[in-house]
Structure 1
Amino acid sequence: MALTYGDYLKVNELISLQEPKSTGPEHDELLFITIHQAYELWFKQLLHELDHLVVLFAEDERYRCLHTLKRVRTIFKTLVQQVDILETLSPLEFSSFREFLDTASGFQSFQFRELEFLLGMKNPAKLSPYPQGSKERERLLARLAAPTLWDAFLAFLSRRGFAVPMDVMQRDVTESVRPDSDLQELLIQIYRNEPLLSEIMEALVDIDEGLQEWRYRHVKMVERTIGMKPGTGGSSGAEYLRSTLFAPLYPDLWNIRYRL
């Protein structure tokens, strides 16, 4: 039997995965589920692309690195655009099914935590929602212990003969990326003398900005929908989300702006 579109994409299985919990169910709960499931699929794709990007840096595939970085940035733009759809939910529409979410919260998205860790924002405290021995916790522990995308980029520079500071190369990869003045001097020289590498660094800034943009839109969407109410799952809602704003992934690339 020939392979069909539905078989290839497992459409019947896919459209059976949206299971509203509200009585009725409430009309708007399907939209809420669909958007968040779509987010999780995009998170999976982002992890797939970024893991590939780490390999491309290791293989010195400069042009393919740039291509993949641009794809990642475009996916982040799509994540931001999906907030527009979520914002069509009025506070009354969301409250009509919110109680049925019980303790479920986006705060518990382990794939998003994996993305943060891989991109360079490490925080062991974010393991706490995941039980010891769970698949989610094991995945996050592996990401916590692994080098970040920034580490892969710096190793790429080092292999190309650039004098990346040794203390940066040997940093504790379980911690978030921190700025380094000596590294910034090197990055300035690369910007001035290496057009392709400077374009790759700008693409890294694009990703950094894309994540910050998505966080901002997410915060405003939550404030618009539930105001200052606590979030589901025990989070502090918009208050917690605001605390994550404007923290760059790659501070060195931002700190040199005024000197270029």
Structure 2
Amino acid sequence: MVTQSWRDLRPETAVSGETSGTTRYIDYFQVRQLHTLQRPMTEAAYEMAFLVSSQVMELCFGLLCHEFGRARREVLADDVPAALRTLRRAVAHLRVLEATWESYEDMTPSDWNPIKARLGKGETSSVHSYMFRHLVFLLGQKSPEMLEPHRSTPLIHQGLQDALSAPSLYDEVLALLQRRGLPLPDSAVHRDFAQPYVARPEVEAAWARVYHDEALADLRELGEALTEVADRFTRWKQVHLTVTMRTFGAKPGYYHTPAVDWLRTGLDQTVFPELWSARTIM
């Protein structure tokens, strides 16, 4: 008699809406589908942890895009209290995202090499995470060249092009500051959103005023919520760098680019830059 494994329950045998022999919990969370999505290619001890943690990261990227998109709409509607609640939820999600590294942060090169050998060179780089690219675009880190890895998938490429050209969350926050009477130049608010954001001294001065003026206390709270978002996102990137150094060393990454150096460069890209630099003049 052959015993059926839980991994033999393929998605096609657990279609959405199936109720026979299941519970509402199983159907609502699509549990049977979830547990068929991990297909290890090796016997490496860390591959399952790598697979599941990476899938959880992707889900977190999508969740954060949902929250930051919502916060952007709330800021556009001048609803600062609602945006604050949304951003505080997002900070909690970012803590979860950072924790996903823990399942395999102690992986060594000898643990990683068998997995990497089956994944191939370049084809499975994290630069292919289009949801992560949506996330960083929402946070204001625009980079037109990062659309290139997705050119072969037109639907994804178009979605990223739309996200690149749209105002980021920070762009909408700056527009809110201008609507509230802060002297921001039009060049900071009305610009080509597809281009990387360039920090401006006028924006820095505006944030310093927000932190000193009690009449703008709600905007100060918004600034602090955004600072916490930036801090938590940077921590995730720092752990990404450390895990890569530990498991990968200085080997070339995507299309022979130096992976560690590329990640280290990303750490220098500050999210919401004037919220940090303004602290020097406060």
Same fold (TM over 0.5): yes
1:17 aligns with 2:37: yes
1:49 aligns with 2:67: yes
Name 2:8's counterpart in structure 1: none
Q: Note the C-alpha offset of 1:44.
A: 0.4
CA distance in 2, matches of 1:196, 1:253: 15
1:201 aligns with 2:227: no
Q: Note the C-alpha offset of 1:133.
A: 5.3
Q: Secondary structure at the match of 1:129?
A: helix
Deviation above 6 Å: which 4+ runs of structure 1?
A: none
Cα deviation per residue 1:94-132 (whole Å; 9 max; x = unaligned)? 223221111211121111111111110111111111125
1:69 aligns with 2:87: yes
Q: Note the C-alpha offset of 1:89.
A: 2.2
CA distance in 2, matches of 1:234, 1:182: 40
CA distance in 2, matches of 1:189, 1:148: 22
Given the alignment, which residue of 155, 180, 187 partners 2:200? Answer: 180
Name 1:190's counterpart in structure 2: 210
CA distance in 1, matches of 2:200, 2:220: 18
The aligned length equals 258
The answer to whether the 8 Å contact 2:227/2:275 transfers is yes
Scaled by the length of structure 1, what TM-score is found?
0.93
Q: Note the C-alpha offset of 1:163.
A: 3.1
Q: Note the C-alpha offset of 1:189.
A: 1.3
Percent of pairs with identical residues:
29
The answer to whether the 8 Å contact 2:138/2:169 transfers is yes
1:230 aligns with 2:248: no
1:164 aligns with 2:190: no
The answer to whether the 8 Å contact 2:183/2:202 transfers is no
* 1:71–1:235 distance in 2 versus 1, CA, 3 Å: farther
CA distance in 1, matches of 2:132, 2:234: 13
The answer to whether the 8 Å contact 1:190/1:198 transfers is yes
CA RMSD of aligned residues (A): 1.8
CA distance in 1, matches of 2:101, 2:48: 15
Q: In structure 2, what residue type is equivalent to 1:138?
A: Q
> Which structure 2 residue ranges, 5 or more long, are not aligned?
1-18
1:80 aligns with 2:98: yes
1:92 aligns with 2:110: yes
Name 1:219's counterpart in structure 2: 241
Given the alignment, which residue of 261, 267, 281 partners 1:239? Answer: 261
Q: Secondary structure at the match of 1:219?
A: helix
